[in-house]
Structure 1
Amino acid sequence: MLTEQQLRKAPKRDYMNPEQQAFFKHHLLSLKQETQNHIEQIKQQLAQPPECNDEADRAQLEDDMAIKLRLADREYKLLRKIDAALRRLHVGEYGYCQETGEPIGIERLLIRPTAEFGTDVKVISEEKEKFYAD
């Protein structure tokens, strides 16, 4: 299997060849396992909250639990993105912008392996979001 360094040095013509696909499949599956493990840890922490009689401690505990719930929600969303990336990989669409069909790029995929869009498309999308949010 390719290393990250070999992947970075590969010529552009090798983009998303079988070796690169295998690298990202392994990377995505590892990320999925880590995310699932983290979700399990959060679930266990939420299922067994510590006892507290003090009102201030109880308020802090509730804040901590709310943060853990938000974190678990983010992790579940990440799991869905990982599964979507694995499906794209399976059908040969992984690594290509869902809007333009252009390569997303190895560097971007190493940073964000669930990326669906190229940098240019993502920047435009974020600018539109900011414009309409104001």
Structure 2
Amino acid sequence: MKAQTFLPEDYRPAEDEPFMNERQLEYFRRKLIAWKQELLDQSAETLEGLQDSARNVPDLADRASEETDRSLELRTRDRQRKLVSKIDAALRRIETGEYGYCEMTGEPISLKRLDARPIATMTLEAQERHERRERVHRDD
């Protein structure tokens, strides 16, 4: 078990410090864990809401509306589940020392991008190339 890295409450990763040093890694680790906990809490609330709404509604319009709401909730929950697995993958990359580096080019991902999207696995340029290729192949 490694020692806990001290992190001031107002700490923000800066370009003028060594990339993915212990403080940056701890910052992103905490950010990912907090995001994951938030998603899990929302998921629990969704489950409770779905269980509460699983009653028999006699009016057809009300029942249809409730089914639509339930369908939206389930889709949202599925997206959250996928996001939690991406967060877990990012936490594993922190542990293995791969976090913050593009999986396509090996280059560092910008701190601004990681702060905005801590589960990012590619630099912005690599992501844009990837999306352009995907669009081209999708149009075929």
* TM-score of the aligned structures, taking structure 2 as reference length: 0.88
Deviation at 1:80, TM superposition (A): 0.3
Partner residue of 1:66? Answer: 71
Partner residue of 1:30? Answer: 34
- What is the SS of the residue equivalent to 1:22? helix
Q: Does residue 107 of the first structure (1) align with residue 116 of the second (2)?
A: no
Q: Name the aligned partner's letter for residue 14 of structure 1.
A: P
Q: Where does structure 2 lack aligned partners over 5 or more consecutive residues?
A: 1-6
Partner residue of 1:39? Answer: 43
| Residues 2 and 20, structure 1, Cα contact 8 Å, conserved in 2 | no
Identity of aligned residues (%): 37
Deviation at 1:47, TM superposition (A): 1.7
Task: Tell me: CA distance 1:2–1:93, structure 2 relative to 1, closer, same or farther (3 Å).
Answer: farther
Deviation at 1:10, TM superposition (A): 4.0
Deviation at 1:132, TM superposition (A): 1.3
How many pairs are equivalent?
A: 132
Counterparts of residues 14-29 of structure 1 (less than 5 Å): 14-29=18-33
4+ residue runs over 3 A deviation: 2-6
Match of 1:82 among 55, 78, 87: 87
Task: Tell me: CA distance 1:73–1:86, structure 2 relative to 1, closer, same or farther (3 Å).
Answer: same
Q: Hey, what's the Cα distance between the residues in 1 that align with 2:81 and 2:97?
A: 24
Q: Name the aligned partner's letter for residue 64 of structure 1.
A: D
Deviation at 1:4, TM superposition (A): 6.3
Determine which structure has the larger helix proportion and give its number: 1
* TM-score of the aligned structures, taking structure 1 as reference length: 0.92
Partner residue of 1:130? Answer: 135
Deviations 1:11-64 (A, max 9, x none): 0x5111000001001101101100111111111111221552210000000000
Deviations 1:69-95 (A, max 9, x none): 000000000000000000000010000
Q: Name the aligned partner's letter for residue 67 of structure 2.
A: E
Task: Tell me: CA distance 1:117–1:96, structure 2 relative to 1, closer, same or farther (3 Å).
Answer: same
Deviations 1:87-108 (A, max 9, x none): 0000100000011110011000
